[in-house]
């Protein structure tokens, strides 16, 4: 839904100053379909204001600065640092990453911050940027939330949760 919403949002507000000057109701209307639109609109406007006021209109380049901005958590900050600056600041943890990393035995936690820490301890830093993309692809192809297709999975021989691994244990 975000990918469907952002083109109109970016067209209506091409610059940070446009978000700051806009009536909040106009931002809300454009992002209504994403859910929690009132809170998101306040965060979008607050983000634009803080980036202009505190960072001269430039997106900050540290995890600490980014997470201090309205609406920006660790996941978003990691994505921004990786995509804009190619900085492997951590591992992006979304629902696919959390679920599959747990199935792979890389974490036991459900808490994204703890999952990120567990992954950072176990994965070489050179994989931090791409790990979430690998897990998202896997989560959309052979290891979906509703049904796992272990026989088709590229990790079937090493995944402790795969049907093949479970059969070996028996």
Report how far apart, in Å, the C-alpha atoms of 161 and of each of 85, 150, 169 are.
35, 9, 11
Q: Report pLDDT for 1.
A: 87
Integer-rounded Cα Rg, in Å, for the chain is 19
- 2-85 against 95-169: fold identical: no
What is the per-residue burial (b if ≥16 Cβ within 10 Å, else e) of 95-121? ebbbbbbbbbebbeeeebeebbbbbbe
Taking the C-alpha atoms of residue 32 and residue 155, their distance in angstroms, rounded to an integer, is: 39
Q: Report pLDDT for 2.
A: 86
- The lowest-confidence range among 39-43, 124-128, 135-139 is 135-139
Model pLDDT for residues 64-110, shown as the tens digit of each residue: 999 999 999 999 999 999 999 999 999 999 999 999 999 999 999 99
Q: What is the DSSP letter of 59?
A: P
Taking the C-alpha atoms of residue 34 and residue 143, their distance in angstroms, rounded to an integer, is: 26
Return the percentage of the chain with pLDDT > 70, whole number: 96
Return the percentage of the chain with pLDDT > 90, whole number: 89
Q: Report pLDDT for 165.
A: 58
Does residue 130 have a pLDDT over 90?
yes
Q: What crossing angle do the helices spanning 2-12 and 24-31 adopt, rounded to 10°?
A: 150
Rounded to two decimals, the pTM is 0.84
Q: Which of 40, 63, 158 is nearest to 113 (CA)?
A: 63
In the block, which residue shows the tokens 């995509």?
83
Mean pLDDT of the chain: 94
The SS3 call for residue 131 is helix
In the block, which residue shows the tokens 């992006």?
92
Superfamily of domain 2-85: Hypothetical protein; domain 2 (1.10.340.30)
Domain 95-169 falls under CATH 1.10.1670.10: yes
**Domain residue spans in the chain?**
2-85, 95-169
Q: Report pLDDT for 169.
A: 58
Q: Report pLDDT for 99.
A: 95
Taking the C-alpha atoms of residue 79 and residue 13, their distance in angstroms, rounded to an integer, is: 22
Does residue 170 have a pLDDT over 60?
no
Model pLDDT for residues 38-63, shown as the tens digit of each residue: 999 999 999 999 999 999 999 999 99
């Amino acid at each position: 839904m975000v990918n469907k919403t952002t083109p109109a949002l970016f067209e209506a507000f091409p610059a940070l100053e446009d978000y700051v000057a806009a009536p909040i109701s106009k931002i809300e209307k454009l992002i209504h379909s994403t859910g929690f639109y009132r809170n998101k609109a306040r965060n979008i406007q607050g983000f634009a204001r803080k980036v202009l006021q505190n960072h001269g209109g430039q997106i900050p380049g540290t995890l600490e600065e980014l997470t201090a901005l309205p609406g920006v958590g660790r996941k978003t900050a990691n994505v921004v640092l990786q995509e804009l600056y190619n900085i492997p600041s951590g591992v992006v943890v979304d629902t696919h990453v959390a679920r599959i990393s747990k199935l792979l035995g890389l974490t036991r936690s459900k808490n994204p911050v703890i999952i990120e820490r567990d992954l950072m301890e176990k994965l070489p830093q050179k994989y931090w940027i791409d790990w979430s993309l690998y897990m998202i692809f896997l989560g959309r192809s052979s290891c979906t939330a509703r049904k796992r297709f272990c026989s088709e999975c590229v990790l079937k021989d090493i995944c402790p949760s795969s049907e093949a691994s479970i059969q070996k244990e028996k």
